[in-house]
Structure 1
Amino acid sequence: MSETQNSPQGPAPDPAAGATVLLVADPGLPTHRARSIEDSLQQHLDEVYDPPIRLQVRTSMLRLRPDGTLDLSEVLEQARSSGDPDAVLLLTEIPRLRDGRPLIAEIFPEHNIAVISCPTLGVLTTRRRILDALMRCTLRMAPTSESLDASRYARRWARWEELTGPDDHQLLLGSRVIGGARTVAGMVAGNEPLRTAPKLSSALAAAAATGAFGIFYSSIWSMSMHLTTQRLLLIGILAIGAITAWLIVGNRLWDAPRYERLARVVLLYNLSTVLTLLMIVALLYVCLVVLIFTSALIVIAPDYLAEVIGGEPVLARYLDIAWLSAAMGVVAGALGSSFDKDTDMRSLTHGQRERQRRFTEEEVGQ
């Protein structure tokens, strides 16, 4: 369907009464993004509809049924309490797929509800992409009486498809390959690795304490002297990879699909978990290298270092010591986090946050 076509599912807003749009966002990053574009969205809506429409922004978690399908009952209740708006937009962090392709947005014409998946929009120019997706959905649910070129909100990598029959929905789908990579990147951003890294403060403390031994043990100095740059890099990479695997296994962060149709989505969950933890552990490693390198410059006298290693005490030697010591420290830090009851790793992943959305079978039956 062309972007310039108006959707037939709803009448144009009454020019005398205006119209109302309700934007409901998941807690966390979706709400932050919704608030960041609220003024811009209002401006675009004012340009499209006359008189200007009223925009309401709320925060509420989109719930899931036990089989993983969307439960819109709470959203419908919010819509009724808001005076039955002309368009209801749900901005969620749930990654959604349709036949292996990222499902960017889905319109439910029977309720005038559109569900927009944040992760499918990636991490680059996200605010603009969210704004475009919201406007495209709004124009289809509440088409204007005047001719409007909606192509300015279109993206080359996304196109609309229609489902006919009992599931008469409109789907905005991304590309299969590039869209999948974009979705994983969006999920990693949703995990907010930079903001969640401080949750491993106990691991950093244990890593720093262990890594500090490298400053005081001359055997570490000598070992680093005889290791090539390539081997040192390999040691660092192996340490980061091994500890990432340890954290995933030790905290049971690897998800298994309960339903075969959700296997692809669960794969995205697992990929985003691995990448998120790799970023956190790599950040921990870099922090340790900087900390140990600075401490080594203060503690180890250049003359003494030259005497031990039998070479020039250049900065590269201090960096080698810091790099090797950090590898030991990262291992100790990850082990320490496994025994820290205050370190909640599971809340960092999409899989765990999805479980918080699910109604149990008992709740559904009530």
Structure 2
Amino acid sequence: MTKGIRVGLLADPAAPTEIARLLSDLEPPSEDREPWDIEIVSEPFAMDCEDVETALARLRDHARQHEWDIVIGLTELPFRDEDDGRYLLAETDPRQQTAVLSLPALGGFGMRARARHAVRALVSGMAGNAQAGHSEPLPRFTSRWRLLVGMVLANRPWLLVPGLKSALVAALTTGAVATINSTVWLLAGSLSPWRLIVATIASISLVVAWLVIDGALWDRPDDGSRDARERSRLYNTSTLVTLTIGIFICYLALYLVNLAWALFVLDPAVMGGYLHATLGYGDLFVLSWFVASAATVGGALGTGLESEEAIRAAAYSKREKERRNRLAHERT
């Protein structure tokens, strides 16, 4: 009976673990090679987002404990090369049969398929099974923009919507009242399209700023080094983009609900007679647009967060600090 190669996948909790479980059926690229016996362990192993050697050392410890022939770590944190500062897709230690894979560096879109290909290439290469035509060489580096897209999608900005339920309810209430207010109709009708666009941008920006300040999401460098400053810029950019996408989704939902409400309860002809103006159903779209901007600011800033954890999940630095705290607690 052919002895299989014991492969350990040590995955960070949450999304990396979910992806790792989808890889439990990976097989060698050739049937005449030793089969892979894959074991999955869910545990935070990355002590520092820039220290890839620390991550590899922790993986080696797990390989000895579990008697794995090959171990690969799956993490949602970014890594940088200490020599040239480029962002790493994967780092390997062939002598120790150890590798770490940064999932966001895969780019976010089609991450599961990309992760499957990457893990297969890493295991195949370290097991000595890489053959021409069976697997493509895995690049070691990735671009900053590709990494940023992966980080934003890993943050899952759409999950901010349930975390802002109380704010959305307050905004919907504000919008419902404002929709039938004649003064709001006059204001909406007096605004040009570019002013409505500015109002949209301003309302979303104010809510994003409030979330960053209220949730203490702004990452500050640990020291004055260039690497620390670059890491903070990357974290802060991913946080801002994540929050902006999440708030825009809320804004769009608010607009659609306000529009449906306006179409249901309002008659433009009646309101036009009251305001001594010619109004049509097209004006309801403008009204809903203006109300969405006003209600976004008034509703979101006037209420607390339904789930602070959902907001903090948008910041990589917060997840990394929580990971370090868990590891420190385990060692005490």
Give the TM-score normalised by structure 2.
Answer: 0.88
- Find the counterpart in structure 2 of residue 111 from structure 1: 96
Separation (CA, whole Å) in 1 of partners of 2:228 and 2:32: 39
Q: CA deviation at 1:235?
A: 0.9
Q: 1:346 to 1:315 in 2, by over 3 A?
A: same
- Find the counterpart in structure 1 of residue 195 from structure 2: 231
Give the conservation status (yes or no) of the 8 Å contact 2:221–2:232.
Answer: yes
- Find the counterpart in structure 2 of residue 4 from structure 1: none
> Where do residues 38-53 of structure 1 align in structure 2 (5 Å cutoff)?
38-39=24-25, 42-43=26-27, 45=28, 47=30, 50-53=33-36
Separation (CA, whole Å) in 1 of partners of 2:262 and 2:20: 46
Cα deviation 1:71-125 (Å, max 9, x = unaligned): 456544543343x222111110011122332200011335321100011111223
Work out the number of aligned pairs and report it: 326
Separation (CA, whole Å) in 2 of partners of 1:49 and 1:275: 47
Give the conservation status (yes or no) of the 8 Å contact 1:193–1:280.
Answer: yes
- Find the counterpart in structure 2 of residue 269 from structure 1: 235
1:317 alignment partner, SS class: helix
Separation (CA, whole Å) in 1 of partners of 2:78 and 2:49: 17
Cα deviation 1:211-235 (Å, max 9, x = unaligned): 2222121111111112122221221
Matched, 1:348 2:331: no
Give the conservation status (yes or no) of the 8 Å contact 1:222–1:308.
Answer: no
- Find the counterpart in structure 2 of residue 206 from structure 1: 170
Counterpart of 2:312, as a letter, is: R
Separation (CA, whole Å) in 2 of partners of 1:233 and 1:207: 19
Give the counterpart of 1:281 among 247, 250, 272: 247
Matched, 1:135 2:135: no
Give the conservation status (yes or no) of the 8 Å contact 2:76–2:104.
Answer: yes
Q: CA deviation at 1:255?
A: 0.1
2:298 alignment partner, SS class: helix
> Where do residues 116-265 of structure 1 align in structure 2 (5 Å cutoff)?
116-144=101-129, 148-149=131-132, 152-154=135-137, 158=139, 172-174=140-142, 179-259=143-223, 260=225, 261-265=227-231
Separation (CA, whole Å) in 1 of partners of 2:330 and 2:268: 70
Q: 1:247 to 1:90 in 2, by over 3 A?
A: same
Give the conservation status (yes or no) of the 8 Å contact 1:306–1:313.
Answer: yes
Give the conservation status (yes or no) of the 8 Å contact 2:269–2:279.
Answer: yes
2:63 alignment partner, SS class: helix
Q: CA deviation at 1:52?
A: 1.8
Separation (CA, whole Å) in 1 of partners of 2:115 and 2:244: 27
Q: Where does the alignment leave 5 or more consecutive residues of structure 1 unmatched?
A: 1-14, 159-171
Q: 1:364 to 1:299 in 2, by over 3 A?
A: closer
Counterpart of 1:95, as a letter, is: P
Cα deviation 1:149-205 (Å, max 9, x = unaligned): 1674236xx3xxxxxxxxxxxxx112xxxx111111101111111123211111111
Give the counterpart of 1:79 among 48, 63, 70: 63
Matched, 1:322 2:306: no
Q: CA deviation at 1:49?
A: 5.9
1:114 alignment partner, SS class: strand
Counterpart of 1:269, as a letter, is: Y
- Find the counterpart in structure 1 of residue 79 from structure 2: 96
Separation (CA, whole Å) in 2 of partners of 1:298 and 1:280: 27
Counterpart of 1:302, as a letter, is: P
Counterpart of 2:8, as a letter, is: L
Give the conservation status (yes or no) of the 8 Å contact 1:66–1:359.
Answer: no
2:30 alignment partner, SS class: helix
Q: CA deviation at 1:302?
A: 2.7
Q: CA deviation at 1:57?
A: 2.2
Matched, 1:293 2:259: yes
Counterpart of 1:239, as a letter, is: S
Counterpart of 1:251, as a letter, is: G
Give the TM-score normalised by structure 1.
Answer: 0.80
Give the conservation status (yes or no) of the 8 Å contact 1:136–1:150.
Answer: no
> Percentage identity across aligned positions?
29
Separation (CA, whole Å) in 2 of partners of 1:274 and 1:66: 19
Give the conservation status (yes or no) of the 8 Å contact 1:132–1:154.
Answer: no
- Find the counterpart in structure 2 of residue 19 from structure 1: 5
Q: CA deviation at 1:308?
A: 3.9
Cα deviation 1:302-351 (Å, max 9, x = unaligned): 322222454444332111111111111111233134x3474332233211
Matched, 1:36 2:22: yes
